[in-house]
A and B are shown apart, each in its own frame.
Chain A
Amino acid sequence: MGPLVINEIISENTNLLLAFFIGIAFGFVLEQGGFSSSRKLAGVFYGYDTVVLKVFFTGAITAMLGLLFFSLFDWVDLSIVYVNETYLWSSVVGGVIMGAGFIMGGYCPGTSFCGAAIGKIDAYVFIAGLFIGIFLFGEAYEWFEPLYLAEFWGSPRISEFFGLSEGVTVLLVILAAVAMFWMGEKAEKMFPRDEY
Chain B
Amino acid sequence: MTMETIRKPRNYMNPYLAGVLLGLVVLAANFISGRGLGASGAVKSAIVAGVETVAPKHAAASPFYDSYSKAHEGKPLNNWLVYQMLGVIVGGFVSGVVSRRLTWKVEHNPGIQSRTRLLFALAGGVLFGLGSQLGRGCTSGSALSGMAVLSLGGFISMAAIFGTAFMLAYFFRKLWI
User: Interface residues, chain A, CB within 8 Å of chain B?
Assistant: 2-6, 10, 15-34, 36-40, 42-43, 45-46, 48, 51, 54-67, 70, 75-76, 78, 80-88, 90-123, 125-138, 141-142, 144-145, 147-148, 153, 155-161, 166, 169-170, 173, 181, 193, 196
Q: Are B87 and A27 in contact (CB under 8 A)?
A: yes
A39, A78, A160: most-surrounded residue (chain B CB, <10 A): A39
Q: Are B176 and A28 in contact (CB under 8 A)?
A: no
B16, B62, B88: the one contacting A26 at CB < 8 Å is B88
Known: A28-B95, A121-B106. A98 touches B160 (CB 8 A): yes
User: Interface residues, chain B, CB within 8 Å of chain A?
Assistant: 12-13, 15-16, 18-40, 43-44, 46-48, 51, 62-65, 78, 80-81, 83-96, 99, 101-109, 117-118, 120-169, 172-173, 175-177
Q: Are A121 and B22 in contact (CB under 8 A)?
A: no
A15, A19, A38, A64: the one contacting B147 at CB < 8 Å is A64
Q: Name the distance in Å between A81's Cβ and chain B's nearest Cβ.
A: 5
B65: chain A residues at CB < 8 Å are: 138
Q: Are A95 and B160 in contact (CB under 8 A)?
A: yes
Nearest residue, chain B, Cβ from A136: B130
Q: Are B32 and A18 in contact (CB under 8 A)?
A: yes
Known: A67-B148, A108-B138, A118-B101. A99 touches B156 (CB 8 A): no
Q: Are A31 and B37 in contact (CB under 8 A)?
A: no
Main secondary structure of the interface of B (DSSP, over half): helix
Q: Give bound CA distance, A60 to B31, whole Å.
A: 15
Q: Are A45 and B91 in contact (CB under 8 A)?
A: no
Q: Give bound CA distance, A46 to B80, whole Å.
A: 35
A66: chain B residues at CB < 8 Å are: 23-24, 26-27
Known: A29-B21, A92-B156, A103-B165. A76 touches B30 (CB 8 A): yes
Q: Are B156 and A51 in contact (CB under 8 A)?
A: no
Q: Give bound CA distance, A26 to B101, whole Å.
A: 17
Q: Are B152 and A196 in contact (CB under 8 A)?
A: no
Q: Are B47 and A134 in contact (CB under 8 A)?
A: yes
Q: Are A106 and B121 in contact (CB under 8 A)?
A: yes
Q: Are B80 and A67 in contact (CB under 8 A)?
A: no
Q: Are B153 and A84 in contact (CB under 8 A)?
A: yes
Q: Give bound CA distance, A42 to B107, whole Å.
A: 12
Q: Are A70 and B102 in contact (CB under 8 A)?
A: no
Q: Are B134 and A16 in contact (CB under 8 A)?
A: no
Q: Are A67 and B15 in contact (CB under 8 A)?
A: no
Q: Are A105 and B124 in contact (CB under 8 A)?
A: yes
A110: chain B residues at CB < 8 Å are: 37-39, 88, 138-140
Q: Give bound CA distance, A89 to B21, whole Å.
A: 32
Q: Are A103 and B34 in contact (CB under 8 A)?
A: no
A91, A99, A158: the one contacting B163 at CB < 8 Å is A99
Known: A38-B107, A51-B12, A132-B129. A122 touches B23 (CB 8 A): no
Q: Are B88 and A114 in contact (CB under 8 A)?
A: yes
Q: Are A94 and B172 in contact (CB under 8 A)?
A: no
Q: Name the distance in Å between A188's Cβ and chain B's nearest Cβ.
A: 11
B160: chain A residues at CB < 8 Å are: 91-92, 94-96, 98-99
A18, A93, A95, A170: most-surrounded residue (chain B CB, <10 A): A95
A22, A63, A137: the one contacting B87 at CB < 8 Å is A22
Q: Are A93 and B134 in contact (CB under 8 A)?
A: yes
Supply 17 further A-B pairs (C-beta < 8 A) apart from A22-B84, A94-B134, A102-B124. Answer: A20-B84, A26-B91, A31-B101, A59-B22, A60-B26, A64-B147, A67-B30, A95-B156, A96-B160, A102-B161, A108-B140, A119-B96, A125-B121, A129-B124, A134-B44, A134-B129, A138-B47
